[in-house]
């Protein structure tokens, strides 16, 4: 997993509450178990018209936000089913951080397991960041995970809380497999002792 330390980029404003995982990545795109290629289907039903053409009114189709790295959105983001394809699609599109007043628990956990930083902030801070994001491609937002700071284009600073263990995992790029492999020596020693004591197993 790619470490997350600092991120500066365009933030896209998606001023909607209760954005569920079927809106993030519709069910017809769940046939794959690969983490790549899903970015083109992100928010498919809002990004595309019924004839398949782009909806020019959707934020991620606007020229200023096509390369957005941050998403500023409403409360209860990621509700609905537990599909891990939702963070996969965000990451494949290029989104590394989601800012919202609140998140659905399973989606929130899945973000950390896939290298995305979800930050829950008071509504007043989200309103300010939504306004910043609305300024377009020239309004760069910067996030420093080590310092736990978000800086807007006007230089204002917002601090955020994060679980220390999850913070260390993101800073070091540790997913569940990487965390397990940190104990590879101890695991190998255990397996060797077990094989010596019970070779029939």
CB 124 within 8 A of CB 99: no
Question: Would 193 be classed as within a structural domain?
Answer: no
Determine the Cα–Cα distance for residues 162 and 151; give it in Å rounded to an integer.
17
Question: Would 183 be classed as within a structural domain?
Answer: no
Q: Could you read off the pLDDT of 128-161 as tens digits, one per residue?
A: 999 999 998 888 999 999 999 999 998 899 999 9
Question: Would 201 be classed as within a structural domain?
Answer: no
Question: Would 163 be classed as within a structural domain?
Answer: yes
Q: Does the pLDDT of residue 164 top 90, yes or no?
A: yes
Determine the Cα–Cα distance for residues 39 and 24; give it in Å rounded to an integer.
10
Domain that holds residue 89: 6-172
- CATH of residue 40's domain is 3.20.19.10
Would you place residue 108 in the very low, low, confident or very high pLDDT band (cuts 50, 70, 90)?
Answer: very high
Number of domains in the chain: 1
Question: Would 184 be classed as within a structural domain?
Answer: no
Question: Would 23 be classed as within a structural domain?
Answer: yes
Q: What is the pLDDT of residue 46?
A: 96
Residue whose entry in the numeric block shows the structure tokens 């902030």 = 121
Question: Would 63 be classed as within a structural domain?
Answer: yes
Mutual orientation of helices 105-113 and 164-172 as an angle, nearest 10°?
A: 40
Q: How many CB atoms lie within 10 A of CB 135?
A: 16
Higher pLDDT, 15 or 82: 15
Question: Would 182 be classed as within a structural domain?
Answer: no
Q: Could you read off the pLDDT of 172-185 as tens digits, one per residue?
A: 999 877 777 767 77
Determine the Cα–Cα distance for residues 68 and 142; give it in Å rounded to an integer.
12
């Amino acid at each position: 997993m790619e470490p997350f330390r600092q991120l500066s980029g365009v933030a896209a404003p998606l001023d909607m509450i209760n954005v569920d995982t079927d809106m993030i990545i519709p069910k017809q795109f769940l046939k794959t178990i690969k983490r790549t290629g899903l970015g083109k289907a992100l928010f498919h039903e809002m990004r595309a018209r019924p004839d398949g053409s782009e909806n020019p009114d959707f934020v991620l189709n606007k020229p200023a936000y096509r390369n957005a790295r941050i998403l500023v959105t409403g409360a209860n983001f990621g509700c609905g089913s537990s599909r891990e394809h939702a963070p996969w699609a965000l990451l494949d599109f290029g989104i590394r951080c989601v800012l919202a007043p609140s998140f659905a628990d399973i989606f929130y956990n899945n973000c950390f397991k896939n290298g995305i930083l979800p930050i829950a902030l008071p509504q007043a801070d989200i309103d300010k960041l939504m306004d910043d994001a609305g300024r377009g491609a020239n309004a760069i937002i910067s996030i420093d995970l080590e310092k736990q700071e978000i800086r807007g284009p006007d230089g204002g600073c917002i601090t955020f809380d994060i679980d220390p263990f999850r913070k260390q995992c993101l800073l070091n790029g540790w997913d569940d497999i990487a965390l397990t492999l940190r104990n590879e020596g101890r695991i190998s020693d255990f397996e060797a002792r077990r094989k010596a004591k019970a070779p029939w197993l």
